[in-house]
Structure 1
Amino acid sequence: MFSATAHGQAMYQQVKAFIETHIEPIEAQFWQDCHEQNPDGHWESWQWPKAYETLRAKARDAGLWNLFLPDENLGAGLSVTDYAPIAELTGRSVLAPYVFNCNAPDSGNMELLWRYGSTEQQDKWLTPLLAGKTRSVFCMTEPDVASSDATNMQATAVVDGDEVIINGSKWWSSGLGDPAVDVLIVMAYTPDESKDRHHQHSMVLVPAKTAGVKIERMLKVFGDYDAPHGHGEVSFTDVRVPIENFIGGPGMGFEIAQGRLGPGRIHHCMRCIGAAEKSLELAIHRGMQRSAFGKPLLQLGGNLERISDARVKIDQARLLTLYAAQKMDSQGTKAALTEISAIKVVAPTVLQEVVDMAIQIHGGMGVCQDTMLPSFYAQARALRLADGPDEVHKTMIAKLELKREGYRLKR
Structure 2
Amino acid sequence: MNQNTSLLARVANGSLVLQIIVGIILGVVIASISTSAAGNVAFLGDLFVGALKAIAPVLVFVLVASSIANQKVGSHTNMRPIITLYLIGTFAAAITAVIFSFLFPTTLLLATGIEGSNPPQGIGEVLNTLLFKVVDNPVNALMTGNYIGILVWGVGLGLAMHRASDASKAMLSDLSDAVSSIVRFVIRLAPIGIFGLVAATFATTGFSALSGYAQLLAVLVGAMLFIALVVNPLIVYLKIKRNPYPLVFKCLRQSGVTAFFTRSSAANIPVNMSLCEELKLHKDTYSVSIPLGATINMGGAAITITVLTLAAAHTLGIHVDFMTAILLSVVAAVSACGASGVAGGSLLLIPLACSLFGISNDVAMQVVAVGFIIGVIQDSAETALNSSTDVVFTAAACEAAENAEQKES
Do these two structures clear the TM 0.5 threshold for a shared fold by scoring above it?
A: no
Structure number with greater CO (CA < 8 Å, separation at least 6) is 2
Normalising by the residue count of structure 2, what TM-score does the alignment of the two structures yield? 0.31
Larger helix percent: 2
TM-score normalised over the length of structure 1: 0.31
